[in-house]
Amino acid sequence: MTRTALTGEEVLAAAARLVRAQGPAALTMRRLATELGTAVTSIYWHVGNRESLLDALVERTVREMGEIHPVGHTPHARIVSVARALRTALRERPQLIAMVHERGLTERMFLPAQQALVHEMHTAGLRGELAAEAVRAVQFQVVGFVLVERNRERSPEQHPSEGELWDSPTAGHDPALARALAGPVDAERLFVVSLEALVTSLLSPGEPVGGPAG
């Protein structure tokens, strides 16, 4: 049975689900109409042609990425919360993020999170180039970590595996270290550990992270 009532937001939400699950190539007007139980003409009525639909999806993704807000009682906690929320948002929609990047809107997409970080850096007492460096360090930490995660997830099975490579001599005769490195990677914990260390270093008084110039 064909639906008679449909909204543009419902069309975009369904299109986003298809792209997130199978990539932009899977998004056809006919397939989207089938997904929504409506006629193809109804899709065109609400969002225009496929290119217009993709543009609208990109704009929707940019808006969603702007909904990241800090939480916590200290600048440190709020910076960590922004970074963790940004990582989650990037991991949840890689195909849509790629579309944003292809349309040259990456910087605009990251701007709200950067602005939230700027506010927290100012609250923590950082100003000028030091604050800018701290904001970018956090952003690069998040984006770089997500890229490494995705590469690990998509890579073929490794031979030999990490478990076969690490033994006590390989680990400097540290059996506990060898066992830990031979085990699976807890990406969530590793992200938090590295992020906490980075933010602590950035907000600590004294010399900038890069050390004295010259």
Give the CATH number of the domain where residue 35 resides: 1.10.10.60
Instruction: Flag whether 150 is in a domain.
Output: yes
Q: Are residues 37 and 78 in the same domain?
A: no
Average pLDDT over residues 21-36: 89
Q: Are residues 71 and 129 in the same domain?
A: yes
Q: Tokens 């639909």 appear where? A: 53
Number of domains forming the structure of the chain: 2
Q: Are residues 90 and 23 in the same domain?
A: no
Q: What is the pLDDT confidence band of residue 209, given thresholds at 50, 70 and 90?
A: very low
Instruction: Flag whether 213 is in a domain.
Output: no
pLDDT for residue 180? 86
Rounded distance, CA 188 to CA 30, Å? 39
Q: Is 91 exposed, middle or buried (0-12, 13-18, 19+ CB in 10 A)?
A: middle
pLDDT for residue 205? 58
Instruction: Flag whether 3 is in a domain.
Output: no
Average pLDDT over residues 190-209: 85
Rounded distance, CA 12 to CA 19, Å? 10
CATH number at residue 166: 1.10.357
Least confident of 14-23, 111-120, 129-138, 198-207: 198-207
Instruction: Flag whether 214 is in a domain.
Output: no
- Whether residue 95 is predicted with pLDDT greater than 80 in this model: the reply is yes
Rounded distance, CA 171 to CA 187, Å? 21
Answer positive or negative: Cα dihedral of 153, 158, 164, 169: negative
The three-point CA angle 151-156-160 to 5° equals 110
**Residue finishing a domain among 38, 58, 78:** 58
Average pLDDT over residues 161-175: 79
Residues 120-156 have pLDDT tens digits of 999 999 999 999 999 999 999 999 999 999 998 888 8
Q: Are residues 107 and 180 in the same domain?
A: yes
Instruction: Flag whether 211 is in a domain.
Output: no
Structural domain containing residue 40? 8-58
